[in-house]
Amino acid sequence: MNNILIGVSGGISAYKVPSLIRLLIKDDYNVKVIVTEDALKFVTKETLEIISGNRVYFKMFDNVSVTSPKHIELVGWADCLLIVPATYNTIGKLAGGIANNLLSLVASAMDNNKLILAPSMNVNMWENKILQSNLNKLKKMGVNIIEPDSGFLACKDTGKGRLPDIEIIHATIKRVLNTEKRFENIQYIVTAGGTEEDIDKVRVISNRSSGRMGIEIAKQLYFKGADVLIIHGNVSVGIPIYLKSVYVKSAEMMLEVINKNIGNNTIIIMAAAISDFKIKNAGKEKYHKKELRHIEFIENIDVIKNIKRDNILKIVGFALENGMDRKSAIEKLKRKNIDTIILNDVSSIGSEHTKIEIIKRKDNNIIEFEGTKQEIAKLILDHI
Ligand code: CTP
């Protein structure tokens, strides 16, 4: 269980902090809160205390212990410090090395990599060069900054400065706490969901893939600090807003977008269910029933086989088989010339829970596992 210290400074979006704390508590985090005096004009101490289940800290010299000063005790307790909202003033203090209230004092003793700022303010303040240079300075020193959203602001201006959705803040905390070195300097492309091929203007060939497996893998990669892009077809599970994502319709589009996005060291995880066939002369308008009798299926492009291999570190494929047919999965591993194949049973389509086998080309040891797709996503990342 992780300990999250939340610092609230005096901005209108402080009213959103109780909802964020609820989300964190639900996710089993321990939360303690420090407020500045101005923050208490926007959110009450009582609300924060009841929701976090802990007393709120705000005075520097309240109940000072002779053995351990309060700010050092709080820094020792916290796995990370999130300042939300981080106001123009608080950001200026941190960048200038000023520690004249409990929050800035605690921040001064915190490891910069464990410090997260969620700035929120009026658009003119956000665009002010002083603020931008302060943020750049902090960023260079390892502080994590969550970009604000654009939109309608509390001051009735429209522009950048809104606190982003709490789901994004929640995901950033997870990322800061779970980042692992082994995921650095590698770019991950994960495909998910089912592709679609036109029969005519209204009909399509598709499949029942929910996208859940690929989305889980992309989420776990994001939490581990990886640079991840999810390229997806139709999905029935929502794509988290914090993930970089591109929608593609057909197999050909999927191949084009994958090849365009390959970086220097790329690992590709192909969890998408790709239509094996398409229609030779897909109708530009709607076909009549009798015309449909004459449509001709032709084999679709094999995406994996056509990925440009120059800068690829690894390709991981999935083999969806009736009755966990291992022989067929091994045949696909060789035929598609990939490094690892994850064998799963057809019953896993759309389900939350599934059974897999991880089969590698250069290792005869096969890993068998049964569990939720979230558990499987973590296991797959440990084995590639
Ligand atoms: N795949 C692909 N292009 C296709 C079909 C599949 O890149 N046209 C990828 C899938 O994303 C998956 C792997 O190949 O990672 C295996 O997919 P699967 O459907 O099991 O294999 P197929 O080659 O389609 O074989 P079959 O349908 O005969 O089982």
CATH of the domain at 13: 3.40.50.1950
To test the pocket of ligand 1, the residue of 259, 298, 303 to mutate (highest count of ligand atoms within 8 Å of its CB) is 303
Give the model's pLDDT for residue 154.
82
Residue 297 dihedral angles phi and psi, to the nearest 5°: -80, 135
Do 58 and 115 share a structural domain? yes
The ligand 1 atom at the shortest distance from the C-alpha of residue 320 is 20
Establish whether 155 is a catalytic residue: yes
Q: Per the domain annotation, does 162 fall within a domain?
A: yes
CA-191 nearest atom, ligand 1: 11
Residue where one domain finishes, among candidates 158, 177, 196: 177
Strand arrangement, sheet containing 115-119: 56-57, 30-35, 3-8, 80-86, 115-119, 144-145
Would you say the CB of residue 304 lies under 6 angstroms from ligand 1? yes
Report if residue 182 sits inside a domain. Answer: no
User: Same domain, yes or no, for 289 and 376?
Assistant: yes
User: Based on the domain organization, do 240 and 352 belong to the same domain?
Assistant: yes
pLDDT one digit per residue (tens) for the chain, 384 residues: 899 999 999 999 999 999 999 999 999 999 999 999 999 999 999 999 999 999 999 877 666 565 566 788 899 999 999 999 999 999 999 999 999 999 999 999 999 999 999 999 999 999 999 999 999 999 999 999 999 999 888 878 888 999 999 999 999 999 999 999 999 999 999 999 999 999 999 999 999 999 999 999 999 999 999 999 999 999 999 999 999 999 999 999 999 999 999 999 999 999 999 999 999 999 999 999 999 999 999 999 999 999 999 999 999 999 999 999 999 999 999 999 999 999 999 888 878 888 999 999 988 899 999 999 999 999 999 998
Q: Round the CA-based radius of gyration of the chain to a whole number and report it.
A: 25
Q: Please tell me whether residues 159 and 122 are part of one structural domain.
A: yes
Residue 97, both tokens: 């090395």
- Both 129 and 221 in a single domain? no
pLDDT (0 to 100) of residue 139: 98
CB of 240 within 8 A of CB of 171? yes
Q: Which of 177, 205, 236 is the last residue of a domain?
A: 177
Q: Is 150 helix (H, G, I), strand (E, B) or coil?
A: strand
Question: What span, in angstroms and rounded, lies between the C-alpha atoms of 323 and 26?
Answer: 38
* Ligand 1 touching residue 274 (CB < 6 A): yes
Q: 118 and 48, same structural domain?
A: yes
Task: State the DSSP H helix or E strand holding residue 335, giving kind and residue range, or none if neither.
Answer: helix 326-335
Q: Are residues 92 and 236 in the same domain?
A: no
Task: State which ligand 1 atom lies nearest to the alpha carbon of 318.
Answer: 15
Structure-derived torsion over alpha carbons of residues 53, 54, 55, 59, reported in degrees to the nearest 10: -140
CA-CA distance, 355 to 321, in Å (whole number)? 11
CA–centroid distance, residue 229 to ligand 1 (Å): 20
- Indicate the length of the chain as a whole number: 384
Which tokens in the block code for residue 7?
């610092």
- Is residue 342, in this structure, part of any structural domain at all? yes
Model pLDDT, residue 13:
95
Q: Which residues contact 344 (CB under 8 A, 6 or more apart)?
A: 318, 319, 320, 321, 324, 354, 355, 356, 357
Catalytic residue selected from 50, 72, 130, 155: 155
Instruction: Tell me how many domains the chain contains.
Output: 2
Q: Same domain, yes or no, for 344 and 371? A: yes
pLDDT of residue 272: 98
| 251 and 300 Cβ atoms separated by less than 8 Å | yes
**347 CA → ligand 1 middle, Å:** 16
Q: What is the pLDDT of residue 62?
A: 65
The rounded distance, in Å, linking the Cα atoms of 361 and 366 is 10
Strand partners of residue 342: 318, 358
| Centre of ligand 1 from the C-alpha of residue 383, in Å | 21
128 shares a domain with 41: yes
CATH number for the domain that contains residue 228: 3.40.50.10300
Residues 134 and 193 in one domain: no
**Ligand 1: residue whose CA is nearest its atom 28:** 276
Of the residues 177, 211, 230, the one at which a domain ends? 177
**7, 80: one domain:** yes
Which domain range does residue 309 map to?
187-383
Are 221 and 265 found together in one domain?
yes
Out of 276, 300, 330, mutate this one to test ligand 1's pocket (max ligand atoms within 8 Å of CB): namely 276
Nearest atom in ligand 1 to 275's CA: 8
Q: Which tokens hold the place of 162?
A: 């809104």
What distance in angstroms lies between residue 274's CA and the mean position of ligand 1's atoms?
6
